[in-house]
Amino acid sequence: MKIGVFDSGLGGLTAVRELIKIAPGVDIVYLGDTGRVPYGSKSRETVITYSEQAVKWLINRGVEAIIIACGTVSSVALERLESPVPMFGVVGATAYRAVECTNNGKIGVIATEATIRSKAYEREILRLNKDFEITSRSCPLFVPLVENGRISADDKIVESIIEDHLRDIKSAGVDTLLLGCTHYPLLSDAISRYMGRVTFIDAGREAARSCVKELGLNQSGDFGEFKCYVTDFVDDFQAQASVFIGDAIISSVEKIQL
């Protein structure tokens, strides 16, 4: 089975990491719109236009299902995207998991500005349990940190940005923190150092799990092909990608135009 995975940049590789782990036999076509990242600070109309181009491109590559491994696209554009193959966004599965995990009913939601503005996660969590208390916060500086490889918990800049962005979430006493942008799991160590004991819900991982479950994909087998396509430089892609996917073998990397 050939699965397309789409994100504005490299964050969607957090979904690939899980996909490779739980359904190693699938062929993966990864599309990162690195030339136009970030999407999170752009208007809804722009995000819809970019995503339509990406989905069309993936379908032309012959993918049989698509994981929209981007919180922003899943929140603001998914319902506007047309596809002849099944598409899996991150919002539903991630909200469901957060609701399952919380003990005190207090959930923090962090994501890009566009995602937080859309209230997509909040709506979904409250649909599942209207009594839960949700504290949401956009973290506009997290994606640039991750895309530039600044993820270490010992990095003073990372530390001060996290403190600035997560102060309200911490004082709200949440026991579960929904990482609603697929870039954010890379900052887990640093966030964890600041937040203390909270359960992280990883949007990319949950989307990959729901895709594998819904499609009944084979959970064993030899590794399939893993081809990457980006809309900007390919030179240091392998090195940047390894931060997300460790030593998983990328079959090829190519620059394309959407």
Q: Active-site residue numbers? A: 70, 181
Using rule CB under 6 A, residue 198 touches ligand DGL: no
Nearer to ligand DGL, 93 or 181 (CB): 181
Among 182, 210, 231, 240, contact with ligand DGL (rule: CB under 6 A)? 182
**Quick one: which H or E segment has residue 65?**
strand 65-68
Using rule CB under 6 A, residue 40 touches ligand DGL: yes
Binding segment (CB under 6 A) for ligand DGL, from list 69-77, 123-131, 224-232, 238-246:
69-77
Task: Characterize 243-258 residue by residue with b for buried, 16 or more Cβ atoms within 10 angstroms of its Cβ, and e for exposed.
Answer: ebbeebebeebeeeeb
CA distance 90 to 208: 8
Peptide bond into 38 cis (omega under 30): yes
Using rule CB under 6 A, residue 51 touches ligand DGL: no
Binding segment (CB under 6 A) for ligand DGL, from list 18-26, 33-41, 194-202, 206-214:
33-41
Binding segment (CB under 6 A) for ligand DGL, from list 78-86, 117-125, 176-184, 206-214:
176-184
Nearer to ligand DGL, 4 or 9 (CB): 9
Is beta strand 27-32 parallel, antiparallel or unpaired with respect to 65-68?
Answer: unpaired
| C-beta neighbour count of 239 within 10 angstroms | 9
Q: How far is CA 253 from the centre of its chain?
A: 20
Using rule CB under 6 A, residue 183 touches ligand DGL: yes
